[in-house]
Amino acid sequence: MSLIEKLTPEQEALIPVYREKWRAIALSTERIDKEKATEAVKASYVTIGFEEPEIIFCDSPYVGIKIVIQKQLKHRLNTEFYKQLYKFKNELISQVARQPESQIMAQLLIDVLPDLNILEDILKVELKTQLQLTRNFRSPWFKAQLYSSGCSWVDFYTSVLNCSYNQIKWQALQSLLKYCSWILPYENICIVCDRPLHLRFDNQNRLHAEGEPAIEFTDGYSLYSYHGVTLPEKYGKIHPQQWQATWLLTEENIELQRVLIEGIGYARICQELQAIELDNWQEYTLLKIDNNVDIEPIYLLKMTCPSTSFIHALRVPPNMNSAREAIRWVNWEIDPEEFSVQT
């Protein structure tokens, strides 16, 4: 194939099509077609030179890892499976990366996908505790999400630009990603996990949901998250509007404290925790909360709208001595007397 100096308008128009195609594959929440998943797994084993495995389906990664432990599969992990597929994917990418347009194409096609590795980390901790394991165990899932970004690039080059490739291997890899979600490939057994029932994210592709799981599987296994921070169920299942400021007095995890403060809002924290008034200036009040809510005392500038009586509260540094000083800090050192209109 000759080097490509410039994409045609028609080819450029297909870039978002392939990006969205593979993003949809990676984040699909449709139930797995077990027949197609079985064919895809067996084909991938055969393609890299292994015998077809027994296939076990499970409803969630939680159950999948329990099967690994119960069947004592940790010493028979098929590392060659990962090595071969990873090598093949990299060979395809390396082949097309020699094209002059490759760097631009990479930026356009490899869309940022949410990091779902946290789910596996949480699973390991939970299962180790519940099953009273004395040592860590390995359970590296083969995740469609990790391969889909690279495959969107390869798919564009092979399908649109007619780049040469090993059709058998490419078909095997595509089928594996299209018809499976997470799998655990072992020498004679392959565990295939069904897709999540729900996946929820914020506008920055971080796992996020309010009052419901960010990840939820059909068997009920769930993960709660607030803008990428994993929450315990006691917080996650309750909408932030119903979070209680008193939780801050007993929560020891600093990151969870930050999330609670963000979700509850300083205005409600002031009201529920009976903040101390230090100073007033017109409709502004400097407040202090000093009961171990945060690492250092919380100083807040409360602002009450004269027309609506709606209260806003902003955190200010703890070295503020007056409401006017806090206002200057909020407004980039501009004295409040200089404002002709206050809001």
How does pLDDT run across 268-323, given as a tens digit for each residue? 888 888 888 899 988 899 988 877 667 778 888 888 777 776 667 788 888 888 99
Predicted local distance difference test score (pLDDT) of residue 125: 67
Residue pair 298/292 in contact by the 8 Å Cβ criterion:
no
Both 180 and 280 in one domain: the answer is no
Domain count within the chain:
2
Both 169 and 311 in one domain: the answer is no
Burial profile 113-130: b = 16 or more Cβ within 10 angstroms, e = fewer: bbebebbeebbbeebbee
Both 173 and 272 in one domain: the answer is no
Residue 343: pLDDT band with limits 50, 70, 90: very low
Average pLDDT of the residues in 20-44: 93
Average pLDDT of the residues in 71-81: 67
> Is position 64 within any domain?
yes
Output Rg (C-alpha) for the chain, integer angstroms. 27
Burial profile 48-65: b = 16 or more Cβ within 10 angstroms, e = fewer: bebeebebbebbbbbbbb
Give the CA angle between residues 16, 164, 100 to the nearest 5°.
60
Smallest CA-to-CA distance from 176 within 76, 86, 73 is with: 86
Q: Tokens 């409600």 belong to which residue?
A: 268
Compute the mean pLDDT over every residue in the chain, rounded to the nearest whole number.
Answer: 81
Which residue segment(s) compose the domain that 271 sits in?
A: 264-338
Residue 84, Ramachandran bin (φ over 0: left; ψ between -120 and 50: alpha; else beta): alpha
> Is position 246 within any domain?
no
Last residue of a domain, one of 195, 210, 228: 195
Q: Which of 112-126, 259-273, 288-302 has the lowest mean pLDDT?
A: 112-126
Last residue of a domain, one of 195, 222, 238: 195
> Is position 247 within any domain?
no
**Model confidence over 88-111: pLDDT tens digits?**
666 666 655 555 555 555 555 555
Last residue of a domain, one of 174, 195, 216: 195
pTM of the model: 0.76
Alpha-carbon distances, residue 263 vs 204, 235, 241, 305 (angstroms): 17, 11, 7, 22
> Is position 3 within any domain?
no
> Is position 214 within any domain?
no
Both 40 and 168 in one domain: the answer is yes
Rounded Cα gap, residues 106 and 89, in angstroms:
14
Both 20 and 164 in one domain: the answer is yes
Q: Count Cα atoms within 13 angstroms, Cβ side, for 152.
A: 27
Beta carbons within 10 angstroms of residue 252's beta carbon: 7
> Is position 293 within any domain?
yes
